[in-house]
Structure 1
Amino acid sequence: GKLYLAGFKRRSMKEKGVLLFIAALFILAACNNDDSANNVEVVPPRPLAEVEAENNAEIKAFLNTHYYNYEEFENPPADFDFKIVLDTITDETQDKIPLSEQVSTMTIPVSSATFNLDEDVTVNHTLYYLAAREGIGESPTVGDSTFVAYEGQLLSGEIFDSNTTYTWQYLPFFLRGYAAGVSNFKVGDEIISNPDGTIEITGSGIGLMFIPSGLAYFNNPPLGSGIFNYDILVFQVNTGLFIEATDYDNDGIPSIMEDLNNNGNLSDDNTDASTELSSGFGFVPNHLDRDDDQDGILTRDEIVIDAGGNISFPDSDGDGTPDYLDADS
Structure 2
Amino acid sequence: MSKIKFYFILLIAMIGIVSCSKDKNDDIPVIPPKPYAEQYEIESKLIETYLKTNYITVVNASGETKDQDVTIAKLDADHTVSIWDQKVYALKNRIVELHGIKYTLYYLVLREGTGQKPCNVDDVFTSYNGKYLAETTTDNVTIITSTQFEEVIFPQTFVNLFGYLRGWKEIFPQFKSGEAVSNPDGTVKYTNFGAGVMFIPSGLAYYNTGKGTIPAYAPLVFSFKLYKIKRSDLDYTFNGTSFVSTPDGVLSYQEDGDGDGYMWTTAELPEGAVNPDDTDKDGIPDFFDFDDDGDNYATRGEVKDANGNYYPFDLIPDCDGKIPTDIKKKRHLDKECHKMSQ
- Structure 2: 5+ residue stretches without partners: 1-23, 134-144, 236-246, 267-274, 305-309, 321-328
Q: Given the alignment, which residue of 235, 242, 247 partners 2:233? A: 247
- 1:105 positional shift: 0.9
Deviations 1:18-52 (A, max 9, x none): xxxxxxxxxxxxxxxxxx98654322222222222
Quick check: 1:252–1:300 contact (8 Å CA) kept in 2?
Answer: yes
Verify: 1:85 aligned to 2:71, yes or no: yes
Counterpart of 1:144, as a letter, is: D
CA distance in 2 between counterparts of 1:139 and 1:257 reads 13
Verify: 1:149 aligned to 2:127, yes or no: yes
Q: Structure 1-normalised TM-score? A: 0.66
- 1:264 positional shift: 3.5
Q: Residues 80 and 168 of structure 1: is their aligned pair in 2 closer, same or farther, counting only changes over 3 Å?
A: closer
Q: Residues 328 and 153 of structure 1: is their aligned pair in 2 closer, same or farther, counting only changes over 3 Å?
A: same
Question: In structure 2, the residue corresponding to 1:209 is in which secondary structure?
Answer: strand
Q: How does 1:1-329 map to 2 (within 5 A)?
A: 40-70=28-58, 72-73=59-60, 76=61, 81-82=66-67, 83-94=69-80, 96-101=81-86, 102=89, 103-110=91-98, 112=99, 122-155=100-133, 156-166=145-155, 167-193=157-183, 195=185, 198-222=187-211, 225-243=212-230, 246-249=232-235, 250-258=247-255, 264-268=262-266, 286-292=286-292, 297-303=297-303, 309-311=314-316
- 1:170 positional shift: 2.0
- 1:58 positional shift: 0.9
Question: In structure 1, the residue corresponding to 2:265 is in which secondary structure?
Answer: helix
Quick check: 1:206–1:237 contact (8 Å CA) kept in 2?
Answer: yes
CA distance in 2 between counterparts of 1:165 and 1:182 reads 18
- 1:106 positional shift: 1.1
CA distance in 1 between counterparts of 2:249 and 2:35 reads 40
Q: Between Structure 1 and Structure 2, whose CA radius of gyration is higher?
A: 1
What number of residue pairs does the alignment pair up? 265
Counterpart of 2:300, as a letter, is: R
Q: Residues 47 and 328 of structure 1: is their aligned pair in 2 closer, same or farther, counting only changes over 3 Å?
A: farther
- 1:306 positional shift: 5.1
Pairwise CA RMSD: 3.8
Structure with the higher fraction of residues in helix conformation: 1
- Structure 1: 5+ residue stretches without partners: 1-35, 113-121, 275-282
Deviations 1:111-169 (A, max 9, x none): x3xxxxxxxxx211111111223322232221322221222211233222232223312
Question: In structure 2, the residue corresponding to 1:158 is in which secondary structure?
Answer: strand
Q: Residues 312 and 172 of structure 1: is their aligned pair in 2 closer, same or farther, counting only changes over 3 Å?
A: farther
Q: Residues 217 and 310 of structure 1: is their aligned pair in 2 closer, same or farther, counting only changes over 3 Å?
A: farther
Task: Give the corresponding residue for 2:139.
Answer: none
Q: Residues 302 and 69 of structure 1: is their aligned pair in 2 closer, same or farther, counting only changes over 3 Å?
A: same
Deviations 1:179-209 (A, max 9, x none): 22111122212233473x6432121122111
- 1:298 positional shift: 2.1
Percent identical among aligned pairs is: 28
Quick check: 2:173–2:261 contact (8 Å CA) kept in 1?
Answer: no
- 1:211 positional shift: 0.8
Q: Structure 2-normalised TM-score? A: 0.64
Quick check: 1:206–1:236 contact (8 Å CA) kept in 2?
Answer: yes
